[in-house]
Amino acid sequence: MVAESERAEEVTPTAESAAAGDAPASGAQAAQAAQAAPAAHVADGAGPDAAEPSAPDAVPAPAAEAASAGPDAAPAADAAPAGPDATGETATAPQPERAEAPAQPAAPAADAASAEPGGADEIAAAAPHGAPAERPHPTPSPADARPGPRAVPRPVPRPKVPAAAAPVAAPPVPPVDAHDAAEAAAWGRVDDDGTVWVREATGERVVGQYTGADREEALGFYVRRFLDLQAQVALFEARLPQLSGKEIDQTLATLTDALKEPTAVGDLDGLRTRLDRVRAAAEERRAEAAAEREAARARAVADRTAIVEQAEKVAAQDPTRTQWKQSGERLRDLLDQWKNAQRTGPRLDRPTEDALWKRFSHARTAFDRHRRQYFSELDASQAQVKDAKEQLIARAEELAASTDWGRTTAAYRQLMDEWKAAGRASRKDDDALWARFRAAQQRFFDARNAQNAEIDAEYSENLKVKLALLEQAEALVPVTDVKAAKAALRPLQDKWDAAGKVPRADVQRVEGRMRAVEQAVRDAEQAAWQRTDPEKKARAEGAAAQLEAAIAGLEADLARARETGDESQIAEAQTALDARRAWLDQVQRTARD
């Protein structure tokens, strides 16, 4: 039975996945947190000091972004070269990290890049051109003290034995394309004091200071940052067709913020222009995604509507012809289809889904109402049938002891006709009622059969007598002498009647054989009478006399024709004479027979 309580088992489409769309934001927020935090980026672990104007200009390198995703990603040993003092943020000499937490292996930047792409987070973390493998700790400054967004720390297991963590080997730096690096380096320059400049459309801008190193090394550090940004834009452009609208918005926001005033050297204006082109393509992709969502929603509405229409079709069946078990199973299957579509398909707007669900629920309610009404009426009808058959059983039981075999047999036939016309009760009741009715009949017929068996035993000797009489009677056939056959058959018939009845099973057989002999004698007698019929004989003799007179006249005509010698008259008279003689011969034969 399909019950209304099953409605409570369903999950409304608006509440199923309330937080499903918020999951992709976590990676992007981590990337933004990494960008907002004060950053001091140094080339390689043993390189000279590097200074940058301000923390917001920092662009997260892949290794830095991997670190911002969780506490396990930070290198175990960060270092920066010792060098002369410089303005801004100056990195200190490389020192191993203190054992504030258990040593955790660093998440290599290459591993983060090679992971399966998954939205804005992975685009921001998957740049092919690496920044320095190790991030040195910058010297704290007042600017660094301002709070910024940070990734939520995860609990770290406490080490059993506190000990200083051993330095971890730096992950390999991805190779830098020399041609791309040379083109990017053309957009910057380095002063004698290590100040690094980048050329933009609005003029030159200081991106940082890299002291204690040659110009090529200082410029290369910021070139690699540019190549990282360029790789992120390229990856975003390549993955654009596979991204959702939310991922597109998050990645665009991240890259736009990163390209405002990046501390990098390269064709920043060209990269911003490229990002604008990607932004336009992203708008088209967003429109396509919206169209896809709308098409999917339309298909979902069509699928749900089809489910509802099938349920309404089941509910609209004629109750007198409905297969209730199969129809109930069909409705349960449709309900499972509805739940599956609700779970796995696109979410519908509340008014549409509520309207469809009301139709579906109404169909189920109507089906249940029709089923209850049908079985209620069926129970009442079967109760009436049961009462009628109880009365027929009472009448049958009254006749069970009767010995008026003929009349009682006819009465039982009448009761059987009334039983069939009464209809059917429930299967259980009908089987029990039929067993009682049949038992009453069986008592009567068993008594009748026992009586017939006794009678048949008495009649078995009569059967032997009649079989012997049949042999004598059948010897008269075929009949050659009617009078003799009739004389022989008459005493046999008297003995036949005197022999008495035979068993019921043999009556038709022996009576049929005797009737066949009697019919053969009657046929022979009829044929003989037809041959000796006086009236027929008188008619034959009269016809013969007429023909004889005609023949005499024709003989006279033939004699006269011969006297004249007319051949035609002779032939005509001869033909007529021959015909009359033939007729006379036939009449005389018939009269003799």
Question: Across 373-484, where does the E strand assignment appear?
Answer: none
State the pLDDT at residue 534: 66
Q: Is residue 128 predicted with pLDDT exceeding 70?
A: no
Kindly indicate the confidence band of residue 592, based on its pLDDT and cuts at 50, 70 and 90: low
Contacts 24+ apart (CB under 8 A), 13-21: 13/342, 13/347, 13/348, 13/350, 13/353, 14/347, 14/350, 14/353, 16/342, 16/343, 16/347, 17/347, 21/246
Domain coordinates in residue numbering, the chain: 26-154+165-266, 454-531, 535-592
Q: For 268-324, what is each residue's pLDDT tens digit?
A: 999 999 999 999 898 888 888 888 888 999 999 999 999 999 999 999 999 889 999
Most confident range (mean pLDDT) of 64-68, 91-95, 142-146, 476-480 is: 476-480
Q: For 522-580, what is each residue's pLDDT tens digit?
A: 888 888 777 666 666 667 777 778 878 888 888 888 888 888 888 888 888 888 888 87
State the pLDDT at residue 503: 84
Report the chain's mean pLDDT, rounded to a whole number: 73
Q: For 428-458, what is each residue's pLDDT tens digit?
A: 888 999 999 899 889 989 988 888 888 777 7
Contacts (Cβ under 8 Å, ≥6 apart) of 185: 219, 220, 223, 265, 266
Q: Is residue 497 predicted with pLDDT exceeding 50?
A: yes
Contacts (Cβ under 8 Å, ≥6 apart) of 365: 4
State the pLDDT at residue 591: 65
Kindly indicate the confidence band of residue 200, based on its pLDDT and cuts at 50, 70 and 90: very high
State the pLDDT at residue 558: 82
Token readout for 469 is 């009489």
Query: Taking a C-beta distance cutoff of 8 angstroms, is the pair 131, 224 a contact?
Result: yes
At residue 52, the 3 state secondary structure works out as: coil
Q: For 87-99, what is each residue's pLDDT tens digit?
A: 333 333 333 333 3
State the pLDDT at residue 308: 95
- In order, the DSSP letters of 316-383 are TS-GGG--HHHHHHHHHHHHHHHHHHHHHSPPPPHHHHHHHHHHHHHHHHHHHHHHHHHHHHHHHHHH
CA distance 39 to 271: 22
Kindly indicate the confidence band of residue 460, based on its pLDDT and cuts at 50, 70 and 90: confident
